[in-house]
Structure 1
Amino acid sequence: MTDTDPRTRTTPTAARRSKSRGAIPVESADIRLIRIFLRVVEAGGLSAAQSELNLALSSISEKISALEARYGLKLCKRGRSGFSLTPAGEDFYKEAQRLLGSLDQFSNRVAGFSSQMPRSLAVGLVDTIISDPLCPVSRAVAKFAEAAPSVHLEIATLSPGELLREVIGQKVDLAVGSFPRAAMGLDYLSLHDEQHNLYCACTHQLFDMPDPQIGIDSIREHRIIARSYWASRDIRVFAISAPHATVSNMEAEAHLILSGAYLGYLPDHYAAKFPGQLRAIRPDLFSYVAKFQVAARQDWQSRQATRAFIEALQEASSELRAR
């Protein structure tokens, strides 16, 4: 076989691919560039990340280019056509999340070595729970602020599904809510119960109809709201093929119900904020109890601030239920 046989030739491109790129050590300058990259991705583009990063657009672009050059990867497409990640960029983003999550864990663990609280604690909540007389969050915050005055609290309000993803992704340390689906790898600790009912507005045609005249068949004749995180339950209860509107939080649901055009579920404590405007329909048929819990990663007891806040929640919840 001759040297020019096509079966034995190696093209320059193939030769380059055959060489594995050596591991590049992560340095402090890289961490800063990676953090900027994550902010850009989570904001949805360079322009959208400007205010959060407090950097000029050209400076952000230069730093992304420097990160690409550092690791020899094309991470994203940016320009007039918009912002999008390349396949390599998507993989890099996931690894960057793991890296920074590990660094945060390291910082918290090292802080624990000297019996000091970490610098910050991120807590996730579902919306509208402030009007619930059994909600322990405010009391727990007071207890935690007294026990850990130097810890910076970060509070995020999201839907139940989003909260669980944030806990798993280590974006928040713990979450308080009623969770329709249990995600694996988390602990769930009971707090209290929240009563929900199906509501209509005073302008809805069912408002003045006596309960005995309202059945599931008559409910199906009207527009029904489903919650994006609990849609299957709402559809199953009323045996309908699809909802007429979908919401991601209780305030959005209240807007639709108060329009008089829709029926939907609300917590009783939140519906009480609209006296004379809302009516619970057939509580004997359609009411249910939402179990409120605190969700945290299974190592929560080894994380000082998380453990302190959860213990404050449990103590406050016990006090409120005992009243």
Structure 2
Amino acid sequence: MPVDTIDLRLLRIFGTIVEAGGFAAAQDELNLSLSTISGHIAALETRLGVKLCHRGRSGFRLTDDGRQVYEEARRLLASVEHFDGRVRGLKRALSGALTIGLTDNTISDPNAPLETVFAGFAREAPSVLLTVVTRPPHELLRDVVAGEIHLAVASFPRIALGLSYLDLYVETQRFYCGAEHPLYGVPDAEIDVETVRRHPIVGRAYWGQRDLKIFAIGGPRAVVSDMESEARLILSGAYLGYLPDHYAARFVAEARLRPIRSDLFAYPAPFQAAFLPDRERQRVVATFLGHLRRVFPAAGPEPAGAPSPRRRLAP
């Protein structure tokens, strides 16, 4: 006999009656009247073609067929529940791939606990293949727009139209010179913009002239594409340039670098997560964004409805 949904419902009612010890005892749990319960059992007996139980003044008692049906029903319903649970688990499970883009040399920043984000995401989505790529900020923007990566975290040199930005934290950039540089021993009180302009300055390719605006110079005397290269040039004593304060801290502690006029040259660099708005509708991306929001208070709460682009922090 093929089993359909009605049969499963009737078998559940029958099982509840057996376990309660009778029709009247099962009323509260089933929330059904005695006549309705009796009708359901009669329908099940007709469907199966066997008498399941005796009921009446002598009380409730299973027949031999009824006991066998009850045992088989228990096994069948347990299998159905197991199947339902597995299917629900498959629907909830996250799978597929996620590619995250990062800029280099942020691991020493105490304001950037991205490892906590990755740990939470890995616990929630253990089956997802996570790929992390490290590139300069302008290349990350390009790849997000092109759809090559799902989401990028960096301090971006410009606003790319059509992207959503999630505020995360702020990194402080300071202007440094090396221990071998002529300005290393000069007090800050004797250094101004004109003083700095007389010395070669390092520029970052991905920032354009952003670092150099205050100095009003035509261009840098050296150009780099990553933080380590800039640090090496500044440490050489031949150039001045910007570095994140957390990155430069160890060299400052070793007296190999010193910041110059932080009151004048330092500036905040906002870090954000950039992504195409449609990406937030993908469960894997939405899950990662959820962990970013939980770890970084500046990101704000998860949106109640459809995601909408946030305004980018002013540089």
Same-fold status (TM-score > 0.5): yes
Task: Measure, in 2, the Cα distance between the counterparts of 1:200 and 1:314.
Answer: 37
CA contact under 8 A between 2:94 and 2:283: conserved in structure 1? yes
TM-score normalised to structure 2 length: 0.64
Counterpart pick for 1:222 among 191, 196, 199: 199
Please report how far the alpha carbon of residue 273 of structure 1 lies from its aligned counterpart in structure 2 after TM superposition: 2.4
- The corresponding residue for 2:212 is 235
Whichever residue aligns with residue 209 of structure 2, its letter is S
Q: 2:277 aligns with which of 298, 319, 323?
A: 298
Tell me how far 1:136 sits from its aligned partner.
2.9
Pairwise CA distance, 1:119:
1.8
SS at match of 1:223: coil
Q: Residues 111-141 of structure 1: CA distance to partner in whole angstroms, max 9, x if unpaired?
A: xx94442421100001100000010311100
- Structure 2 match to 1:280: 259
* Matching residue within 285, 288, 311 for 1:309: 288
Alpha-carbon distance between aligned partners in 2 of 1:138 and 1:122, rounded to the nearest angstrom: 15
Q: Secondary structure at the match of 2:250?
A: coil
Gaps of 5+ in 2: 1-89, 299-315
Aligned-residue offset at 1:318 = 2.7
Aligned to 1:173: 150
- Tell me, in whole angstroms, the C-alpha distance in 1 between the residues paired with 2:173 and 2:237: 19
Match of 2:167 among 168, 174, 190: 190
Distance in 1 (CA, whole Å) between partners of 2:267 and 2:212 is 15
Say whether residues 1:256 and 2:253 are aligned partners: no
CA contact (8 A) 2:93 2:125 kept: no
Please give the residue correspondences for 1:96-115 in structure 2 after superposition, counting only pairs within 5 Å.
Answer: 114-115=91-92
Amino acid aligned to 1:166: D
CA contact (8 A) 1:164 1:295 kept: yes
Q: In the aligned structure 2, how far is the partner of 1:199 from the partner of 1:314?
A: 33
**CA contact 1:139–1:316 (8 Å) conserved in 2:** yes
List structure 1 runs of 4+ shifted beyond 6 angstroms. Answer: none
Give 3-state SS (helix, strand or coil) of 1:272's partner: helix
Q: CA deviation at 1:260?
A: 0.8
Match for 1:294: what amino acid?
Answer: A
Larger Rg: 2
Q: SS in structure 2 opposite 1:130?
A: coil
Counterpart of 2:134 (choices 148, 151, 157) is: 157
CA deviations over 1:217-270 (Å, ceiling 9, x no partner): 110111101111112212322100111011112111111111111100000000
Find the aligned partners of 2:293 and 2:200 in 1 and give their Cα distance: 39
Query: Which among 178, 186, 210 is matched to residue 201 of structure 1?
Result: 178
Give the Cα separation in 2 of the matches to 1:116 and 1:166. 27
User: 2:177, 2:260 within 8 Å by CA — same for their partners in 1?
Assistant: yes
* Whole-Å separation in 1 of the counterparts to 2:134 and 2:215: 29
Structure 2 residue 108 is the aligned partner of structure 1 residue 119: no
RMSD of the alignment, in Å?
1.9
Return 5+ residue gaps in structure 1 as ranges.
1-112
Identity of aligned residues (%): 47
Q: Does the residue aligned with 2:177 lie in a helix, a strand or coil?
A: strand
Partner Cα separation in structure 2 for residue 318 and residue 130 of structure 1: 19
Report the Cα distance in structure 1 between the residues aligned to 2:202 and 2:95, rounded to whole angstroms.
Answer: 42
How many residues are treated as equivalent by the alignment?
209
Post-superposition offset of 1:301? 2.0
